[in-house]
């Protein structure tokens, strides 16, 4: 079949809207009509050539929602017309990691996914006979995509696509980092570095679980108003204080954050987040994705004296199990999504979404097909 898609032909070049060839679903795969997709900073980072796994030409996008249109042989868990959210972290429920229940990092298809291919080692997309790679196993910047059945979460039919797509990455990543990875306890002091599409969801997760101080740190003053909308109690712009940001935050919290989160992807900020965690017990969660070749550092004494450095991918969520629950939280008003969707665009205007993100003018842009 044919599908319209925004293709990343080369790093650092705008996406091009073209009509592609798409092969139908094979054994264990499903064809999904993507109805809406968010644009996450990770898409921009890959397009900018900063991802060590980045491949071109490819179809980016990993924050979608859509409808199953066809299933391949052997598919049992979803059927045509089911509403689904694609999962860049699948849940096979059979691999060592899934069975361990200790992590959400399902390994069953990770190696082919990282090579931009389906589990059988081939791509379903081509353009004028040339292979186009999948991205994060999702490729939601295509109107139709093919995914393994283990990489779609079936969701309720009444959830709007143009907002619930955000649960495919940003919402789950931020809220899940609080509830699953950090397990933030009521009354905790929380510090969130970077108040974009991820950080604001950490803030609303922290509020949901009853945190005490929720301090937002961002170099863009316009993010203060955004943070306060979702439960932030204090705002700090590191460029506007006298002295060191870490000492400032330690003084503000009377010793440091019980939980701190990096939502910037900047390795210097990751260090600040670790060092702003409370001596003896503070935990710092790295969510931000750093560019290829970057490394984190701190004095080992920071860890010797009890701070804990952790990371979180997709908010520690087991997609097929947890994503439908997060959709319920949204539909029941337990978490908010609508105000964070600042821009809705057509596929033709997708590059504007990247411009808005780089200019710090959007929280989430969503492409509606
Ligand atoms: P975004 O661009 O919407 O937000 C980033 C925010 O960080 C902006 O508000 C920006 O002003 C702020 N910032 C930049 N430099 C800063 C600094 N030095 N100090 C304080 N604030 C600073 O991006 P996003 O979509 O929220 O994504 C944030 C990060 O999370 C990215 O690195 C993205 O790739 C990553 N991410 C990780 C996961 C995961 O599963 N671990 C999932 C989604 C996104
Ligand atoms: N491919 C990169 C790392 C990119 C990365 O860390 N991705 C996050 C999700 S970001 C979503 O917006 C993730 O889940 N990582 C776990 C995984 O298995 O990819 C690199 O450095 O090679
Ligand atoms: Zn993302």
**Same domain for 130 and 162:** yes
> Which residues make Cβ contacts (< 8 Å) with residue 159, sequence separation at least 6?
65, 83, 327, 330, 331
Per-residue confidence at 298, pLDDT binned at 50, 70, 90? very high
**Is 123 buried (19+), middle (13-18) or exposed (0-12) by CB count in 10 A?**
buried
Predicted local distance difference test score (pLDDT) of residue 269: 98
Q: Say if ligand 1 is within 6 A of residue 319 CB.
A: no
In a domain, 13, yes or no: yes
Q: 131 and 8 share a domain?
A: yes
| Atom 8, ligand 2: residue with shortest CA distance | 313
Q: For residue 90, give the 3-state DSSP assignment.
A: coil
- Is residue 262 within 6 Å of ligand 1 at its C-beta? no
pLDDT for the residue 259: 99
Q: What is the pLDDT of residue 215?
A: 99
Residue 208 backbone dihedrals phi, psi, to 5 degrees = -60, -40
278/352 same-domain check: no
Q: Which positions are annotated as active-site residues?
A: 40-42, 62-63, 92, 95, 98, 106, 110, 169, 364
Q: What ligand is nearest to the CA atom of residue 51?
A: 2
Q: Are residues 58 and 155 in the same domain?
A: yes
Q: Do residues 6 and 104 share a domain? A: yes
- How many Å apart are CA 314 and CA 318, to the nearest integer? 9
288 alpha carbon – ligand 1 mean position (Å) = 6
Q: How far apart are CA 131 and CA 56, in angstroms?
A: 10
Mean pLDDT for the chain overall: 98
Does residue 272 lie within any of the structural domains? yes
User: Facing residues of 7 across strands?
Assistant: 16
Task: Count CA atoms within 13 Å of residue 136 on its CB side.
Answer: 25
Q: Considering the domain boundaries, does residue 207 fall inside one?
A: yes
- Whether 292 and 308 share a structural domain: yes
Across the range 186-198, mean pLDDT stands at 98
Nearest CA to ligand 2 atom 17: 313
Query: What local confidence, expressed as pLDDT, does residue 136 receive?
Result: 98
CA torsion, points 10, 15, 16, 17, in degrees to nearest 10? 140
For tokens 């809220």, name the residue. Answer: 175
Q: Are residues 22 and 66 both part of a single domain?
A: yes
Q: Which ligand is nearest to the CA of 201?
A: 1
The ipTM estimated for the assembled molecules is 0.99
- C-alpha to C-alpha distance for 86 and 158, rounded to whole angstroms: 17
Query: What is the whole-number distance in angstroms between the Cα of residue 354 and the centre of ligand 3?
Result: 13
Q: Residues 153, 18, 15, CA angle at the centre, nearest 5°?
A: 75
Q: Could you tell me the CATH number of the domain that includes residue 105?
A: 3.90.180.10
User: Is any atom of ligand 1 closer than 6 Å to the C-beta of 173?
Assistant: yes
322 belongs to a structural domain = no
Q: CB–CB of 89/104 below 8 Å?
A: yes
Looking at the fold, whether 221 and 259 belong to one and the same domain comes out as yes
Tell me, yes or no, whether 139 and 233 share the same domain.
no
Neighbouring C-beta atoms of residue 177, cutoff 10 Å: 31
Q: What is the tens place of the pLDDT at every residue in 88-115?
A: 999 999 999 999 999 999 999 999 999 9
User: Is residue 323 included in any domain, yes or no?
Assistant: no
Same domain, 110 and 203: no
> Which residue is associated with the tokens 């995914």?
147
In a domain, 329, yes or no: no
Does 304 share its domain with 213?
yes
As a whole-number percent, the residues of the chain with pLDDT over 70 amount to 100
For residue 109, the enclosing domain spans 2-168+337-368
Render pLDDT for 145-170 as a digit per residue (tens, 0 to 9): 999 999 999 999 999 999 999 999 99
Q: Which two tokens stand for residue 63?
A: 């924050």
Residues 251 and 225 in one domain: yes
Is position 258 within any domain?
Answer: yes
Ligand closest to Cα of 64 equals: 3
Please choose, from the candidates 42, 31, 331, the residue with its C-alpha nearest in 3D space to the C-alpha of residue 164.
331
Q: For the chain, what is the domain count?
A: 2
Q: What is the pLDDT of residue 15?
A: 98
pLDDT digits (tens, 9 = 90+) for 309-356: 999 999 999 999 999 999 999 999 999 999 999 999 999 999 999 999
Does the CB atom of residue 294 touch ligand 2 within 6 A? no
Q: Reply yes or no: is the peptide bond before residue 57 cis, omega within 30 of 0.
A: yes
Ramachandran region of residue 284, left (φ > 0), alpha (ψ -120 to 50) or beta? beta
CA atoms of 362 and 354, how far apart (whole Å): 9
């Amino acid at each position: 079949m044919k599908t319209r898609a925004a293709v990343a032909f080369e790093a650092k070049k705008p996406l091009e809207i073209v009509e592609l060839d798409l092969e139908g679903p094979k054994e264990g795969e499903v064809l999904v009509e993507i109805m809406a997709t968010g644009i996450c900073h990770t898409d921009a980072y890959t397009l900018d050539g900063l991802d060590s796994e980045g491949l071109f030409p490819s179809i980016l996008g990993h924050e979608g929602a859509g409808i199953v249109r066809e299933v391949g042989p052997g598919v049992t868990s979803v059927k045509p017309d089911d509403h689904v959210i694609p999962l860049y972290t699948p849940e096979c429920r059979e691999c060592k990691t899934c069975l361990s229940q200790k992590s959400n990092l399902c390994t069953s298809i990770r190696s082919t996914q990282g090579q931009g291919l389906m589990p059988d080692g081939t791509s379903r997309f081509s353009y004028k006979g040339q292979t186009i790679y999948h991205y994060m196993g999702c490729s939601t910047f295509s109107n139709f995509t093919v995914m393994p059945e283990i990489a779609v979460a079936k969701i309720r039919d009444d959830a709007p696509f143009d907002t619930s797509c955000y649960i495919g990455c940003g919402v789950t990543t931020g809220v899940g980092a609080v509830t699953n990875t950090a397990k933030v306890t009521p009354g905790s002091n929380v510090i969130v570095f970077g108040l974009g599409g991820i950080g604001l969801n950490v803030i609303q997760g922290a509020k949901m679980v009853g945190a005490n101080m929720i301090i937002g740190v961002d170099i863009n003053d316009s993010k203060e108003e955004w943070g306060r909308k979702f439960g932030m109690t204090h705002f700090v712009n590191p460029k506007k204080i006298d002295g060191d940001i870490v000492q400032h935050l330690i003084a503000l919290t009377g010793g440091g954050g019980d939980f701190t989160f990096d939502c910037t992807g900047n390795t210097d900020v990751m260090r600040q987040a670790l060092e702003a965690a409370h001596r003896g017990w503070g935990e710092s969660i790295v969510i931000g994705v750093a560019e290829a070749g970057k490394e984190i550092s701190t004095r080992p004494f920071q860890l010797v004296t009890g701070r804990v450095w952790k990371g979180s991918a997709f908010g520690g969520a087991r997609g097929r199990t947890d994503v439908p629950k997060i959709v319920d939280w949204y539909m029941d008003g337990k978490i908010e999504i609508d105000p964070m969707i600042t821009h809705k665009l057509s596929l033709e205007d997708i590059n504007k979404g990247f411009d808005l993100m780089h200019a710090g003018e959007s929280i989430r842009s969503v492409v509606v097909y």
